Amino acid sequence: MKEYLRIVQNILENGVEKLDRTGVGTIGITGERFQHNMSQGFPLLTTKKMAYKSVKVELEGFIKGITNKKWYQENGCHIWDEWCNPKKVPYSHDGETKKKMLEEQDLGPIYGFQWRHWNADYVGEQTDYTRKGVDQLEQMIDKLKNKPNDRRIIVSSWNPEQLDQMALPPCHLLYQTIVQSGKLDLIWYQRSVDTMLGLPFNIASYATLLHLLAKEANLKEGTLTGFLGDTHIYLNHIERSEEQLKREPLQLPEIITENFTSIWNWTHNNTKIVNYQSHPAIKFEIAV
């Protein structure tokens, strides 16, 4: 995707260096926009090989409101391995704490909990939260089906009352759907953007969510837009980001979901990417 590479180029040319929470350091810019028309193909990065299974497993976990790290791991998604509920293990950089964070299974009231159980009292990852809190995703789908012209079809993950219990405060903290001429557009806002590791993943995840919501509401797929706040590249990613910029984007793949009955019954196994071709993987170290 040339749009993604444009953002990378802009950061490398105009980014300002600063320290960050992880201690690694970044160069970054303030306020970027990513936009993609879904009719042009599924926006899965082709200038490096992407692990799409992790994308769809995490999204399934969010849709189901799962906060148990083990569930994600058993389904082949290891994105959350290094983090946990800071009430169980307070965040720190030392080796002993990192080991305890790896072992703790409770992620706290992260994204999916807020999507499905907004502000319900959080007890732990094994608790049944059925019909507790506000089901924002259910409300979104109901409006898409019954009030598609509503300008308030929004899901927020940013809950100030529960930030101190979350494995990580939400980076992509809000998304909105807009229906235009029978097409579903999705916009998300992201406060903090790890451009080389996180952003390609976020793009693919929200594109998949747009795809599923469109199916659920019997709409066509429209435009995916991301408004990006602190958009940065970690200093230890710069060399390989320059390598990626030299690669020519390939044709985008297609997304196919089989046996779809409802988003509530959907699993990651129902969805696949076809005709995906990419350049080889590029290893970027994660900053914890």
Any idea which residues carry the catalytic annotation? Answer: 171
Q: How far apart are CA 124 and CA 107, in angstroms?
A: 9
In contact, 47 and 278? CB cutoff 8 Å: yes
Q: How far apart are CA 132 and CA 138, in angstroms?
A: 13
Instruction: Starting at the earlier edge strand, list the strands of the sheet with 220-234.
Output: 16-18, 26-37, 220-234, 183-194, 172-180, 154-156
Q: How far apart are CA 188 and CA 283, in angstroms?
A: 26
Tell me which residue has tokens 């809000």. 174
Q: How far apart are CA 5 and CA 155, in angstroms?
A: 28
Q: How far apart are CA 251 and CA 218, in angstroms?
A: 27
Question: What is the token pair recorded at 172?
Answer: 């992509």
